[in-house]
Homo-oligomer: A and B are copies of this chain.
């Protein structure tokens, strides 16, 4: 095997490690705990969990792995702040969507070859990509892993 594979393996390993941490952190919360704010007046844990789910869901088309499964999550967890809407997905809906979306990503990642990761991601036009080859799928993986870590650091503060 060439060296290319090693870098991709490390990128995926880092992603999986953060997903595991998030599974443990969010998955262990009761329906009462999930409504806790991470700090007074700040986002609730459920909002962060839904936000991460929506952003991971959007990775499916970005990486050309398929259509979004939960585009309706955006209105509740991305384009509007927490506590601004009367109706948002429930604890159970967020838990299910989180699990399904991440399983779908895992399945998609397994089918990708090493060089696939250096292909254009779908939010960059072919011209964008010709000018800047770093607008590729590996950049999305690294960026979204860091996005997950960022919010995990916040979510930790919401545990008693």
Chain A residues proximal to chain B, CB less than 8 Å:
2-4, 6-11, 13-14, 18, 38-40, 42, 114-115, 117-118, 133-134, 136, 138-139, 142-143, 145-147, 149-154, 156-157
Chain B neighbourhood of A145, CB < 8 A = 142, 146
Partner of A146, one of B18, B38, B134, B138: B18
Question: Can you spell out 25 A-B residue pairs with CB atoms less than 8 angstroms apart?
Answer: A2-B3, A3-B114, A3-B118, A6-B118, A6-B134, A6-B136, A6-B138, A7-B7, A7-B11, A7-B138, A10-B134, A10-B136, A10-B138, A14-B143, A18-B146, A38-B157, A39-B157, A40-B40, A146-B149, A149-B150, A149-B153, A150-B153, A151-B153, A154-B154, A154-B157
Q: How many copies does the complex hold?
A: 2
Closest approach, in angstroms, between the C-beta of A109 and any C-beta of chain B? 15
